[in-house]
């Protein structure tokens, strides 16, 4: 398959996630999940550049979600792999630039490699948290939570529509891509002219589509709100989730768990 | 150019969030004011479009590698800066959540680098100044290329500053800058050319899109000479300001180093580092961004600004050269069309 | 039978100057199924868009009973005239089927409990109640088309306007759609290339050509006139031309 077609199909697969709504993870209030995830990533990035062992307890959170969400590890790793490449590319300079040494538990290590490892761990934790959030929560519930948390309608409508039409547009891009591949006899990659033609084509179709959708919305009395936020019900279970994890993160961060 | 959470500190991330939240909040307010309901599906679908377009790679001539467009400038021209900024924010959020392309803590900074800078600096100050509304092919090309190059340079510069202030990566500021800025020059050039081609094609097939969606008060545009002059001034100011900030860096970096390693500055015992330092001294004609090694702050700052301005002039020369090149090409085309 | 829709001297030109409709006058009787046929570009879709005020008349008027379609009456008109567009993907823009069908009633200000009933009833009418929780992207074209119809049925309109309802459907889905349309008592205006479907369902047929009415009459009259059909870039329905 044409390389571009591969990229697009891969992306469509990522976007088309199926949230298993029967799991405990899915029934958690999305607001709780969003808040805990936000606290989690903030605490993780607050560590100094040489932190490695200190960060290990934080793996408890993604592991917990994996278990209660019945997430397949394979699916998670598949997503994390391409993103991990970025982290490696960025962090790989550290071992060559940092000439110092760092002492951990009475052993001396090359500081550059320690900070590189720290970068990888940070990345894994944060990426896993983001992926687990969307793997356990449907977009509609994320939008509802955002609305509750005070995000303006304009932005919620935006996320809403984008999610609805990304796959469709990616499909159209794929079709154009295949049509082009069928007439290019093995020539790889798009020249800039061809690319420009493809996206102009896609853009024009996008405009027509937007007008049609707008007409359909108007015809059914659209007034400006798409997502009604009153369907979320906060339960004791959610309070427990929220409080226990935040307390855990803060305890680890401020060394209240006295094991170091 | 997406910044990852692996390299960011909460302080930088938080600042990024505050700044971008404020600007995006204001943008949303402006959008609501216009109460143009067609915008709702249009913004959404264009967001999906940008997403899809970013997934299609094209081969960069002469390098054998491939790249993809960012799309911020195109969005700014099609939707106006406010709506474009909101759309880009939604795309970045989706990329962060679904692809870990850009971190969640770093999201605020990414919004600034790839959204706010193109929409609120490159578009109004560069594109609109040159192209105005309903301009001809030549101006659109010049405007797109200039706006794209400048926008990406500023964006890349911002990435460097944010990474360095976060102090997780070991890359020294000067090396990082020397790495990021030149790389983004051809990228900016190509994106500018693509954006221009798309706009020109749209002008021919769906001129109503351009006239009804571009929000501009600029009904008449200034003559090209005035444009060049304001361009020069802008570049000088930008170069001056950016390097001012850069000059405060050595202090900030030393403080950070002190905090983490207990040393005043990294001792360059490592032979690689020593060689690199020697090399830098030989090639940089303004070593350590200062005229002399006097400790006086003013001379240091003056030195920094001069080198920043020189850097800006070089950028300016390149974009003017491109503009002239484009004009020459247009001229040739006209001759061959009329001949 | 009373006149339900009355169109008088309707004219419309595109921004580039091409005339889409040239002083068209037409009326549709209540309770009947009216087919609108013509080649691409004849003006069918443009005419349909006028029926619920998506496009407002540049010249002339459109009356739904005694209510003139204007900027002020849009809300009322859109409740009475349910429009089903050609591309179901553009019509189903919410994340679940239920939400799409509930969109109209919800915008009309209906209460939550009433909306649930309404959606149920609409989905029942098209026989797809079991798809309420599904994401529209995962459905077949036939299902999407029927749900599009449900999205307007939920608003309880008197008139149904459909643009190419059978386009892209496989024979089984098409037959289901035709039977469905026949089961509705609403006044129906259907723009279509599917002349056999028009023959099967319509009470009157209007043939458009270059923005004007070329011929009007019963299906039998229009579809037996091979010459007129061919002048307008069409041909006879297979059911007639074969026998």
Dihedral of CA atoms B102, B107, B109, B110 in degrees, nearest 10, equals 50
> Is residue A99 less than 8 Å (CB to CB) from chain B?
yes
Mean pLDDT of B127-142: 80
- Contact at CB, A221 and C93, closer than 8 angstroms: no
> Is residue A160 less than 8 Å (CB to CB) from chain C?
yes
Phi-psi region of C228 (alpha: psi -120 to 50; beta: other; left: phi over 0): alpha
Question: CB-based contacts of A123: which residues, under 8 Å, 6+ apart?
Answer: A83, A84, A86, A87, A91, B4, B5, B6, B100
Nearest Cα of chain A lies from the Cα of B225 at a distance, in angstroms, of: 30
Show the DSSP H helices in B56-172 as ranges: 72-79, 81-99, 107-111, 117, 128-131, 137-166
Neighbours of C68 (CB within 10 A): 14
pLDDT in tens, A239-256: 999 999 999 998 888 877
- The interface residues of chain B toward chain A in range 240-279, judged by CB-CB distance below 8 A, are 260-261, 266-270, 272-273
Of B9, B87, B98, nearest to A45 by CB-CB distance is B9
CA A222 to centroid of chain Cα atoms: 31
Q: Check residue C8 and give its pLDDT.
A: 93
User: CA C186, C89, C78: angle at the middle one, nearest 5?
Assistant: 35
The mean of the pLDDT values for chain B is 71
Touching chains, A (3+ CB pairs < 8 A): B, C
CA A39 to each of CA A60, A128, A129, A213, C233: distance values in angstroms, whole numbers, following the listed order: 14, 14, 11, 38, 66
Q: Check residue B116 and give its pLDDT.
A: 94
Dmax (CA) for chain C in angstroms is 55
pLDDT in tens, B231-257: 566 566 655 555 555 544 444 344 444
Give which of B106, B127, B213, C67 is closest to A206, Cα–Cα.
B213
Dmax (CA) for chain B in angstroms is 74
Q: Check residue B216 and give its pLDDT.
A: 40
Q: Check residue B297 and give its pLDDT.
A: 44
DSSP letter at B134 equals S
pLDDT band, residue A27 (cuts 50/70/90): confident
Which residue ranges form the domains of chain B, and what is each CATH number? 5-33+54-210+242-278 (1.10.1760.20)
pLDDT band, residue B163 (cuts 50/70/90): confident
Q: At what angle do helices B249-261 and B137-166 cross, to 10 degrees?
A: 30
Residue pair A243/B58 in contact (Cβ under 8 Å)? The answer is no
CA A125 to centroid of chain Cα atoms: 12
> Is residue C152 less than 8 Å (CB to CB) from chain A?
yes
| Domain extent at residue C52 | 3-241
In this predicted structure, the answer to whether residue B215 has a pLDDT above a threshold of 50 is no
For the ranges A2-16, B213-227, C62-76, the one whose mean pLDDT is highest: C62-76
pLDDT band, residue B214 (cuts 50/70/90): very low
Q: Which residues pair with A109 in a beta bridge?
A: A102
> Is residue A249 less than 8 Å (CB to CB) from chain B?
no
Among C56, C75, C90, pick the best mutation site for testing chain A contact (most A Cβ within 10 A): C90
Between A257 and B208, the higher pLDDT residue:
B208
Of A14, A130, A199, nearest to B96 by CB-CB distance is A130
Q: Check residue A201 and give its pLDDT.
A: 87
CA B155 to each of CA A161, B120, B271, C67, C148: distance values in angstroms, whole numbers, following the listed order: 28, 12, 33, 56, 45
In this predicted structure, the answer to whether residue A24 has a pLDDT above a threshold of 70 is yes
Give which of A129, A126, A109 is closest to A50, Cα–Cα.
A109
Q: State the DSSP H helix or E strand holding residue C21, giving kind and residue range, or none if neither.
A: strand C19-29
- The interface residues of chain A toward chain B in range 115-134, judged by CB-CB distance below 8 A, are 115, 118-120, 122-123, 126-127, 129-131, 133-134
Neighbours of A151 (CB within 10 A): 15
Kindly list the residues from chain A whose CB atom is less than 8 angstroms away from the CB atom of residue C91.
216
Of B7, B89, B273, nearest to A119 by CB-CB distance is B7
- Contact at CB, C79 and A215, closer than 8 angstroms: no
Q: Are strands A101-104 and A107-110 parallel, antiparallel or unpaired?
A: antiparallel
Size of interface A-C (CB pairs under 8 A): 62
Whether the complex's predicted ipTM surpasses the cut of 0.90 = no
pLDDT in tens, B305-335: 555 555 555 555 555 555 455 445 444 544 4
Q: Check residue B257 and give its pLDDT.
A: 43
Tokens matching residue B52: 């899809």
Q: Check residue A3 and give its pLDDT.
A: 66
The mean of the pLDDT values for chain A is 82
Kindly list the residues from chain A whose CB atom is less than 8 angstroms away from the CB atom of residue B38.
210-211, 214
Kindly list the residues from chain A whose CB atom is less than 8 angstroms away from the CB atom of residue C49.
215
Show the DSSP H helices in B248-296 as ranges: 249-261, 271-283
- Contact at CB, B168 and A188, closer than 8 angstroms: no
What is d(CA C89, CA C154) in angstroms, rounded to the nearest whole number? 18
Q: Which residues of chain C have pLDDT under 50?
A: none
- The interface residues of chain B toward chain A in range 92-121, judged by CB-CB distance below 8 A, are 93-94, 96-101, 103-105
CA A116 to each of CA A50, A88, B17: distance values in angstroms, whole numbers, following the listed order: 8, 8, 26
Q: Check residue C14 and give its pLDDT.
A: 84
What is d(CA B144, CA B190) in angstroms, rounded to the nearest whole number? 10
> Is residue B44 less than 8 Å (CB to CB) from chain A?
yes
In this predicted structure, the answer to whether residue B292 has a pLDDT above a threshold of 90 is no
In this predicted structure, the answer to whether residue B287 has a pLDDT above a threshold of 90 is no
pLDDT in tens, C198-212: 999 999 999 999 999
- The SS3 assignment for C161 reads strand
- Contact at CB, A204 and B202, closer than 8 angstroms: yes
pLDDT in tens, B115-129: 999 999 888 888 887
Q: How many domains does chain C have?
A: 1
In this predicted structure, the answer to whether residue B49 has a pLDDT above a threshold of 80 is yes
Looking up residue C23, the CATH number of its domain turns out to be 3.40.50.300
Q: Are strands C187-191 and C159-163 parallel, antiparallel or unpaired?
A: parallel
In this predicted structure, the answer to whether residue A229 has a pLDDT above a threshold of 50 is yes
Q: State the DSSP H helix or E strand holding residue B23, giving kind and residue range, or none if neither.
A: helix B10-34
């Amino acid at each position: 398959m044409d390389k571009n077609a591969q990229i697009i199909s891969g992306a469509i697969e990522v976007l088309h996630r199926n949230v298993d709504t029967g799991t405990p993870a899915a029934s958690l209030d999305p607001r709780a999940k969003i808040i805990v995830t936000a606290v989690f990533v903030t605490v993780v990035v607050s560590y100094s550049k040489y932190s490695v062992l200190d960060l290990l307890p934080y793996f408890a959170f993604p592991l917990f979600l994996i278990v209660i969400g019945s997430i397949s590890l394979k699916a998670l790793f598949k997503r994390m792999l391409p993103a991990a490449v970025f982290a490696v590319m960025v962090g790989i300079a550290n071992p060559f630039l940092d000439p110092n040494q760092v002492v951990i538990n009475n052993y001396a290590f090359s500081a550059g490699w320690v900070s590189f490892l720290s970068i990888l761990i940070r990345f894994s934790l944060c990426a896993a948290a983001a992926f687990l959030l969307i793997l356990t929560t449907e977009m509609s519930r994320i939008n509802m939570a955002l609305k509750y948390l005070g995000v303006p309608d304009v932005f919620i409508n935006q996320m809403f529509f984008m999610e609805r039409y990304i796959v469709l547009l990616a499909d159209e891009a794929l079709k154009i891509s295949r049509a082009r591949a069928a007439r290019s006899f093995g020539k790889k990659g798009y020249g800039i002219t061809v690319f420009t033609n493809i996206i102009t084509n896609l853009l024009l179709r996008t405009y027509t589509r937007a007008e049609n959708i707008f007409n359909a919305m108007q015809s059914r009395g659209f007034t400006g709100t798409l997502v009604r936020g009153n369907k979320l019900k906060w339960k004791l279970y959610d309070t427990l989730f929220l409080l226990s994890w935040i307390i855990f993160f803060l305890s680890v961060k401020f060394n209240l768990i006295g094991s170091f | 150019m997406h910044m990852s959470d692996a390299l960011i500190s909460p302080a930088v991330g938080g600042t990024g969030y505050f700044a971008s939240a404020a600007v995006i909040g204001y943008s949303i307010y402006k959008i609501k004011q216009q109460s143009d309901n067609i915008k709702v599906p249009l913004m959404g679908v264009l967001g999906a479009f940008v997403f899809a377009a970013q997934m299609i790679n094209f081969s960069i001539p002469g390098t054998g590698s491939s790249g993809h467009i960012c799309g911020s400038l195109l969005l700014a021209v099609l939707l106006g800066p406010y709506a474009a900024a909101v759309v880009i924010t939604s795309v970045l959020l989706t990329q962060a959540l679904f692809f870990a392309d850009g971190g969640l803590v770093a999201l605020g900074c990414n919004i600034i680098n790839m959204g706010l800078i193109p929409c609120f600096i490159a578009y109004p100050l560069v594109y609109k100044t040159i192209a105005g509304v309903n301009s001809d092919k030549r101006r659109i090309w010049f405007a797109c290329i200039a706006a794209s190059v400048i926008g990406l340079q500023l964006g890349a510069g911002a990435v460097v500053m944010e990474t360095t202030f976060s102090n997780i990566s070991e890359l020294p500021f000067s090396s990082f800058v020397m790495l990021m800025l030149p790389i983004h020059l051809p990228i900016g050039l190509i994106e500018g050319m693509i954006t221009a081609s798309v706009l020109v094609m749209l002008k021919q097939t769906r001129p109503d899109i351009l006239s009804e969606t571009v929000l501009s008060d600029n009904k008449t545009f200034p003559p090209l000479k005035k444009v060049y002059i304001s361009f020069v001034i802008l570049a000088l100011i930008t170069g001056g300001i950016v390097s001012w900030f850069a000059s405060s860096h050595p202090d900030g970096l030393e403080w950070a180093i002190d905090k983490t390693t207990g040393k005043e500055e990294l001792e360059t015992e490592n032979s690689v580092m020593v060689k690199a330092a020697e090399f830098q001294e030989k090639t940089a004609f303004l070593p350590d961004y200062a005229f002399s090694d006097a400790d006086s702050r003013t001379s240091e700052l003056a030195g920094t600004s001069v080198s920043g301005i020189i850097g800006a002039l070089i950028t300016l020369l390149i974009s003017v050269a491109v503009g002239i090149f484009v004009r020459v090409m247009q001229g040739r085309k006209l001759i061959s069309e009329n001949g | 039978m009373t006149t339900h829709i009355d169109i008088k001297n309707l004219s419309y030109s595109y921004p580039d100057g091409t005339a889409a409709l040239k002083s068209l006058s037409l009326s549709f009787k209540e309770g009947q199924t009216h087919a609108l046929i013509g080649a691409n570009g004849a003006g069918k879709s443009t005419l349909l868009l006028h029926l619920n005020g998506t496009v407002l008349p540049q010249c002339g008027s459109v009356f739904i009973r005694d209510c003139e379609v204007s900027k002020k009456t849009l809300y009322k008109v859109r409740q009475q005239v349910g429009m089903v567009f050609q591309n179901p993907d553009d019509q189903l823009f919410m994340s679940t089927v239920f939400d799409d069908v509930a969109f109209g009633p919800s915008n009309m200000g209906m209460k939550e409990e009433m909306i649930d009933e309404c959606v149920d009833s609409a989905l029942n009418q098209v026989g797809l109640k079991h798809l309420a929780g599904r994401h529209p992207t995962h459905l077949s074209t036939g299902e999407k088309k029927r749900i599009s119809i449900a999205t307007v049925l939920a608003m309880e309109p008197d008139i149904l306007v459909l643009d190419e309802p059978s386009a892209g459907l496989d024979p089984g889905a098409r037959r289901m759609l035709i039977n469905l349309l026949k089961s509705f008592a609403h006044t129906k205006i259907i723009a279509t290339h599917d002349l056999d479907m028009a023959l099967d369902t319509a009470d009157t047929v209007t043939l458009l050509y270059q923005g004007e009415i070329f011929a009007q009459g019963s299906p039998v009259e229009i579809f037996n006139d091979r010459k007129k059909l061919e002048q307008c870039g069409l041909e006879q329905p297979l059911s007639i031309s074969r026998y």
